[in-house]
Amino acid sequence: MTLKDEFATRNFSIYGQWLGILSMILCFALGIANLFNLFGHFLLIIFSIIALVSCFVILFIEVPLLLRICPTSAAFDAAIRKVSTNYMRAATYAGMAVIQWLSIVVAASSLIAAAVVLTFTAACYALAGVKGQAFVGSKTLGGAGVAQMIV
């Protein structure tokens, strides 16, 4: 199944997964950019660090192949595997979005872009859950079948 075919399925979990990848990229880039903001508020640096941590959590959530390749602890693997349903993914992304939205209280920064995309990602996963669509992982990102071929 090609990427075009995956998007044509109109399954919101596919949209959520790709928005999750975009969220990961934004959290990484904006986390680093705001980390070196020398004239910003100290608490903004904390939100930047949280964005960077969110980036790596999203990476393991959205690319399940990495759980088999990377040496991680059993506790971390178990925590990531709990985030497998659409509703759990929506809740996880909503939590990360709320944290980034709270960064506005400290100072307006580019972390707002990460908060917006995290919110859209949470909405896509919530819509997939409400519509009763089963979670379908993108084969491009190591979903159904790719991880089994490696092991």
Query: pLDDT tens, position by position, for the chain (151 residues)?
Result: 565 655 566 778 888 888 999 999 999 999 999 888 767 688 888 999 999 999 999 998 888 777 778 788 888 888 888 888 889 999 999 999 999 999 999 888 889 999 999 999 999 999 988 988 777 766 665 555 444 434 3
Task: Supply φ then ψ for residue 85, to 5 degrees.
Answer: -90, 165
Inter-CA distances, 128 with 16, 86, 88, 121, Å: 9, 6, 11, 11
Residues 6+ apart with CB under 8 A from 47: 34, 99, 100, 102, 103, 106, 109, 111
Q: Are 99 and 50 in contact (CB under 8 A)?
A: yes
